[in-house]
Structure 1
Amino acid sequence: MGGRIIEVKGKKLYTEHNYSFENRPTIVFLHDSLGSVQLWRDFPAELSDATNCNVLVYDRLGYGRSYPMPTHERPVNYMELEADLLNDLLIRLDIDNAILFGHSDGGTIALITAAKYPEKVEAIICEAGHIFVEEVTLKGVYAAWEAYKTTNLPERLQKYHGDKVETLFKAWTETWTRDDYRNWNIEYLLKNITCPLLFIQGEADEYGTLDQVEKTISQVSGSAEKYIIPGIGHTPHKEAPEQVLEKAADFISKNS
C-alpha cells in the first residue's frame, strides 16, 4: 500500500489506504499509545485478504510518519478529540462503512467514534481498550516510564517515530498519571454504540483487568461478544496472531 500525507483540520496525517474491494467495508486500524502504521506489520493486509475488505491505516498526529504534535500536554478528553478527527478523516476519504479495529488507546478511540458517529461505523473490534482508569493501568505506565529511562526503549521507538519519541512518550505517560485524569471515564457513551462489537483481551493484560471488557459489553446497545485469550498480555494481535486473525475474520464475515 502506498502511503500519503493527508491534511485534516490543519493536522497532517500519514495514511495508507488500500481500496481493492468495491462495495465492501473498510477496516480502519487504530494504533496504541506508542504505535504506528509500521508497527501493525502484516496484520492489516492479512485481515484484508481473509475478509475481502478494504484497509485504512494511519498514524495519529505526533506518531510514525505523521507531523509532530505541537506539545506533549493533552486535555483529559484527548481521545474524544481523536475520534472527532477520525470522523473528519473518514469524510475526507469518503468512507461510510468502516469496521474499526483499535488496539489499547486505539480501541478506546474506536468505541468513542462508534458512539458519536454511528452512521459511519458498521462494527468494532476493540483490542485491550480502556473505558476508565485502573490502578493496574497506572502501574503499567510507571513500568514503561522506568523502562524508558533505564533501557534502550527510546532507541527502539525512534526507529518508528524519529525525533518525535520524547514528546509522544511524555504525552502518554504524563497524561495518564496526572491527578485530573484519574476520573476519566467513557462509560456514559457506551449506550450510544449500536453496531456489533467484539472485545479481545489477553487474560494477563498488564494494562487492564477484565472489568474493562465486562463493563463495556454489558453497556453497549448493540450485540457484543468477548474473546479472552489465556496467558496473553496487552498485544494479542502480536502475541497470538493466528488466533486473533481467525476470530476477527470470523466476526467481520458475520457482520459485513
Structure 2
Amino acid sequence: MEWSKNPTEPLRVNGVALEYSCHGPAPSQTPTIVLLHEGLGCVALWRDFPARLAERTGLGVLTYSRQGYGKSDPIPLPRPLDYQSREALEVIPLVLDAAGIERAILFGHSDGATMAAIYAGSTEDRRVRGLILEAPHFFTEPGGLASIAAARDAYESGDLKAKMAKYHRDPDGAFKGWNDAWLSPGFKAWNVAEVIDYIRVPILAIQGRRDQYGTMAQIEEIENRAYCPVDTLLLDCQHAPHQECPEQVLTEAAEFCARLIRIEAAQVITA
C-alpha cells in the first residue's frame, strides 16, 4: 500500500479495488484515524476534513470509499439488509491489515459510525483504541425514514443524481444500495444497539441537534448502554457536523485522540 494523498493504485481487499487517500504520518509512526463515510459518501466527499484532521491531531488519517462508492469497484444490488454488519466485520479488518495499521481510531459518520461501533462491539481487535461516532444510528426512527424517502424523491425527480454522478463511478448503485435497504419494509425492525454493550474502548459521540436522519435517542442509547468511557459533543447543526461545525469537531476530536495517547502512554509506563 502506498501511503499517499493520491496513490497510484487502489487498495485491494478480497479482490475488490477500493479508492483511498492518506494524510499525515504513516502507520509505523503514529496511531491512524480511519475515516468511515456515510451512506452516500466517498473519499472526495470528506473534502478537506481528512487533511485538517491530520494536521490538528498530528496523526495519520486514512479514508477509503467502500465498494459501490466513489471510484471503488461497483457492488451487486440489492444489498442485504444487514449490509452494515457485513461491511464492518468482513471489510474493516482487511483494510486495517492492508494498510499495516497497528493502532487505529475509527472515526465513522452515519452508516460509517454504525459500522465502527459494530466492529468494536463484535470483535476483540486490539488495534482499535477508540471510536469517534458522528451521527450514528443503531435503530430506525420514523423521522429518519421519512428523510430517506425524501432523498429518494430528490434522486428520482430532482438534481441529487446529477450531484452524485460527480463523485461516484456508479451513482445508481451508490444511491439505491443505501436507499432501497433503508426503505425496505423489513428494515423497520433493524436494531444493532446490542453491540454498544460490548465496546471496551473510549467513545466520542457527536450529534447535531437538528439531524434530519436521527434524534438524540441514538446518543442516549450509547450513554445508557456503554460500559466504556463516553464523551458527547452536541452541536447546533444537521447530519454532517464535520462539515457544518468543522472547528468544534476538529477541536474535540483532537482532544479525544490526545487523551487516548496519554492513557496508552501511562499504561505502558505503569506496566
Aligned residue in 1 for 2:264? none
Q: Work out whether 1:99 is the aligned partner of 2:105.
A: yes
Is the contact between residue 131 and residue 216 of structure 1 (CA under 8 Å) also seen in structure 2?
no
2:66 aligns with 60
The match for 1:216 is: 222
Give 1:25 shift.
0.7
Confirm or deny that 1:41 pairs with 2:47. Answer: yes
Shift of 1:24: 1.5
Residue in 2 aligned with 1:244? 249
Could you give the per-residue CA deviations for residues 65-89 of structure 1, whole angstroms, max 9, x where no partner exists? 1011122x11121111111211111
Amino acid at match of 1:42: D
Instruction: Give the whole-Å Cα distance in 1 for the aligned partners of 2:247 and 2:255.
Output: 12
CA deviation after TM superposition for structure 1 residue 161, in Å: 0.3
1:2 paired residue number? 6
Identity of aligned residues (%): 38
**1:145 maps to which residue?**
152
- Contact 2:23–2:51 (CA<8 Å) still a contact in 1? no
1:9 is displaced (CA, Å) by 1.5
Cα deviation, residue 254, structure 1:
1.1
Structure 1 residue 19: deviation in Å?
5.7
DSSP 3-state at the match of 2:189: coil
TM-score, length of structure 1 as denominator length: 0.95
C-alpha distance in structure 2 between counterparts of 1:187 and 1:96, whole Å: 27
Structure 1 runs (4+) deviating above 6 angstroms are: none
Give the equivalent residue in structure 1 for 2:185: 179
1:8 deviates by: 0.9
Q: What code does the residue aligned with 1:34 have?
A: L
C-alpha separation in 2, matches of 1:185 and 1:120: 26
What is the CA-CA distance between 1:60 and the residue it aligns to? 0.1
Distance 2:257 2:104 in 1: 11
Shift of 1:238: 0.7
The residue identity in structure 2 corresponding to 1:143 is A
Q: Which runs of 5+ in 2 are unaligned?
A: 262-271
Q: C-alpha offsets along residues 13-72 of structure 1, whole Å, 9 cap, x if unaligned?
A: 11223462544110000111111100101111111111110111100001001011122x
CA deviation map 1:85-140 (0-9, x unaligned) = 11111112221211111111011011111112341211111000100111111011
Q: 1:235 to 1:19 in 2, by over 3 A?
A: closer
**132, 139, 143: which one aligns with 1:132:** 139
Corresponding position: 1:24 with 2:30:
yes
Per-residue deviation, residues 200-238 of structure 1 (Å, max 9, x unmatched)? 0000000001000010132122101111112x1001111
Instruction: Tell me the TM-score normalised to structure 2 length.
Output: 0.90
Alignment partners' CA distance in 2, 1:140 and 1:206: 6
Letter of the structure 2 residue corresponding to residue 123 of structure 1: G
List per-residue Cα deviations over 1:175-202 (Å, max 9, x = no partner).
0011111111111111111111011000
Measure, in 1, the Cα distance between the counterparts of 2:56 and 2:177: 35
